[in-house]
Chains A and B, each alone.
Chain A
């Protein structure tokens, strides 16, 4: 599996991406535990319990766009990221921030998760051809706001998702649908249906993105509403193993500067 790891590192190289996570050393369980407490108190409010609540900043993947080294992460935690919603947390000491990093590194995918190394990564240029051709992926997925908006935009797939996540989404798309990508359907009083991504809901109303449009409904006006399975088909029998590997390679380039 050594060669695969090297291939993956190559696919991830580029100025927009710092490469695979840089874990300088192992962490003491006490640090991880202390970091978890600080994470719950200071981070989970926005990033969520699993670290995946902020779009584009899934802390659980162990892949960090703005430098993956511990010192980079400590600096970001304490100084914030101007131009994003990440505020500074100067009240956390460097030592405190280091324990939070220790906790993040302890998350299942925070290091180099074993299954990531099992994923076969092919040729990104061929993968692009599959994406735009035989795979018909562009019928539903757009990139950076261009193209279809039925399914989630993949413009940052290479930053936000790991190879295993991408491969699983291609082969077994309903296995795990991220909370922000859940499909929802409302049935209007006349029986027509509107389907799309659920963006928000409350006791009385529903907010959705349906085919590139923001739409809202009052539940009192509806005959029914509810989640529906992902309309994404499995490509297990549609694409060859090589094609899937190529597609994974291509998607890993999205968001980095070496897209073919």
Chain B
């Protein structure tokens, strides 16, 4: 290269570097509200309070996605962590990426290169017990503070600049099965979480802490106690005490309605509800809470008196759309129980429900949206569709305002045989019943797959929320625990257990790009930009993979 060439390169460098040092590194409540104005950053678990998991970055398009190439990889560093599922969605704040590797290591990475700024490592107590992996789905940020829940049921506040611990609080007793795997949600000056542990007979709750001090601000019991509305739906001998109602995934927030929405997990024990007669509120429900005091504003229960482990462990997707001729604030919800729901998110009114996979446990709704259940577990065994892992699970869906389609990671044509067996509560032990049969492993992968298609398979499905019609389906031979990212340029990114990561055409599901990552995808993709260049990130196996177009 001659001298002139070098000079040109250096000049280009100045423009790029001007963006490297941002004007402000503080994540204020206002910035979280206006996150859509800075698509180069990814400030909350679902990419915005409306949880669309949709990026307006436009560098990567259907025309150029075939050129997408690996930019960098970050490998999980601890041996124990590498053996777990890597479920976190990273945040990106002004060129710095924050993620959590299993079980509870927070890492600050240079989003440009994947190099480490710092690692905060939390070794969970030996008391931690988790049904479904020593996993974590990510951090939340407010100001200069990151928040991480731990599997020994602590909530930690960590300085985002230095990786130093600022405060930590014990959220529940890990010896009783309380654990935090959820990425926290920050609303105003509170950080909100709730415990996993529905398989251990916990009594669930949603709890808000002051972001500065860690002082508890309010608590909403997802399983109401005596004197609280809903307790009357827990018959039997104090069945509410071990009623489950976990919080597995992050809620959403509508600042105009000032309502926060959370999906609540299954009742305990999972597969035999004889000890808990009644609807078992607010399990398998979405609850709308006032973020200032945690008071319940409305609720909708997807699966009353559940005995099929159909947690409402889904992200509430807040879509503003034209609904039968009227602009409405809606909530889209593809549930583990196989049904797609459209609710009015101001009131909780049930607007639509229809299956998005084969469903046989119910055959319709009454006018209030209560399902007409026709099958349940029995002593002789009952074959129920979808299977116990569900038609979808905690994997984030996506809604694209461009296409108007709702993208659902789906398990298609699955079934379980549910057999009712006696269950006894023993502190700290699983409180579930007889595990239903399943053709595929509930968690993780096997190195080989010789299943028949009619035993179930995975798919990304694009559904028209207004009709429930499946507009297109991208089938995969194995099932998927992957989230979905949609883009304003009409792309959909997702993957599955086989380890492929796909770029699909959001309009018709055509596969435009694929990359094998050599490990299962059990996380949601996200997108960010540094110096104007767009990146797509996804965790797979024990690595975090970041892609971009050639410069």
Contact = CB atoms under 8 A, between A and B. Distances in A.
A88 B123 CA distance: 9
A56 to B, nearest CB: 9
B11 A86 contact: no
A215 B162 contact: no
A213 B118 contact: no
A205 B115 contact: yes
B117 A200 contact: yes
B414 to A, nearest CB: 38
A200 B154 CA distance: 29
B115 A213 contact: no
Given A82-B123, A84-B123, A215-B95, A189 B13 contact: yes
Contact of B13 (A80, A145, A215, A221): A221
Interface string B154-171: 100001111010101000
A145 B162 CA distance: 8
Contacts of B21: 194, 210, 213, 215
Contacts, number: 107
Contact of A87 (B123, B160, B164, B166): B123
Interface string B202-224: 00000000000000000000000
A242 B124 CA distance: 45
A204 interface: yes
Nearest to A54: B121
A87 B105 CA distance: 13
Contacts of B122: 83-85
Contacts of A210: 21
A238 B166 CA distance: 34
A259 to B, nearest CB: 17
A221 B17 contact: yes
Given A213-B25, A213-B161, A80 B123 contact: yes
> Interface centre among A84, A144, A189, A190, by most B CB within 10 Å?
A189
B110 interface: yes
Contacts of A202: 113, 115
A221 B161 contact: no
Contacts of B110: 200, 205, 207, 214, 216
Interface in A183-230: 188-190, 194, 199-200, 202, 204-205, 207, 209-210, 212-218, 220-223
B115 A190 contact: no
Contacts of A28: none
Contacts of A205: 110, 112-113, 115
B147 to A, nearest CB: 15
B481 interface: no
B152 A217 contact: no
Interface string B139-157: 0000010000000101000
A10 interface: no
Interface residues of A, number: 37
Nearest to A81: B123
Contact of A216 (B14, B113, B161, B168): B113
B17 A149 contact: no
Contacts of A87: 80, 123
Contact of A207 (B11, B117, B154, B166): B117
Contacts of B118: 199
Contact of A222 (B13, B25, B108, B119): B13
B259 interface: no
A184 to B, nearest CB: 13
Contact of A200 (B20, B80, B115): B115
> Interface centre among A86, A210, A212, by most B CB within 10 Å?
A212
Contacts of A199: 116-118
A155 B162 CA distance: 12
A153 interface: yes
B10 A223 contact: yes
Contacts of A212: 25, 144, 161
B70 interface: no
B96 interface: yes
B4 interface: no
A80 B121 CA distance: 13
Interface string B266-298: 000000000000000000000000000000000
B125 interface: yes
Given A145-B166, A188-B17, A84 B121 contact: yes
A3 B14 CA distance: 60
A155 B166 CA distance: 11
A135 B126 CA distance: 46
Contacts of B144: 145, 212
B240 to A, nearest CB: 31
Contacts of A216: 20, 95, 110-113, 115, 117
Interface of B: 9-11, 13-14, 16-17, 20-22, 25, 80, 95-96, 105, 108, 110-113, 115-119, 121-126, 144, 152, 154, 159-162, 164, 166, 168
Q: Shortest 3 CB-CB distances between A and B: which pairs?
A: A85-B121, A221-B13, A189-B10
Interface of A: 80-88, 144-145, 149, 153, 155, 188-190, 194, 199-200, 202, 204-205, 207, 209-210, 212-218, 220-223
Given A84-B121, A84-B123, A220-B9, 8 more contacts: A83-B168, A144-B164, A149-B161, A189-B14, A205-B110, A207-B116, A213-B25, A214-B108
10 contacts: A83-B154, A85-B123, A145-B144, A153-B162, A199-B118, A204-B113, A209-B162, A216-B20, A216-B110, A216-B112
